[in-house]
Amino acid sequence: MLWKDSVVECVTLFHFHVDMFMHQHILSDNGTLGKIKEYVIRYELQHCGFVHAHIILWFDDNDLDKVTNEIVSFILTIFDETIFFLNSTK
């Protein structure tokens, strides 16, 4: 039996894991990103059949600076690592 034979079961399991991740790491009182006021999750299937999630978060006003700084810091870190990698392969 292949995963394509049980799409509903695979999507249900994926939803279970996304829901568990959201409640343990994002929506808890000590969530990784701060206090979340609202959220929306939308599941989509790619053309090859793989399911993925789009998640939109609305943050508490008191946590906006924290989240913005973390996102900017993360992007700069990835950019620096990419530049370092590209320069080291020359």
Domain ranges of the chain: 1-59, 60-90
Backbone angles phi, psi at 47, to 5 degrees: -60, -30
23 or 5, which is more confident: 23
Question: Among all chains, which residue has been given the structure tokens 């994926």?
Answer: 14
Model pLDDT for residues 21-79, shown as the tens digit of each residue: 999 988 988 777 888 999 999 999 887 777 899 999 998 888 888 888 887 777 777 77
CB-based contacts of 60-64 (< 8 A; 24+ apart in sequence): 60/34, 60/35, 60/36, 62/34, 62/35, 63/33, 63/34, 63/35
Residue 65 is predicted with a pLDDT of 86
Alpha helices in the chain (DSSP H): 7-21, 64-88
Answer whether residue 90 shows pLDDT above 70.
no
User: pLDDT category, 13, cuts 50, 70, 90?
Assistant: very high
> What pTM was estimated for this model as a whole?
0.67
Q: Give the confidence band of 16 by pLDDT, cuts at 50, 70, 90.
A: very high
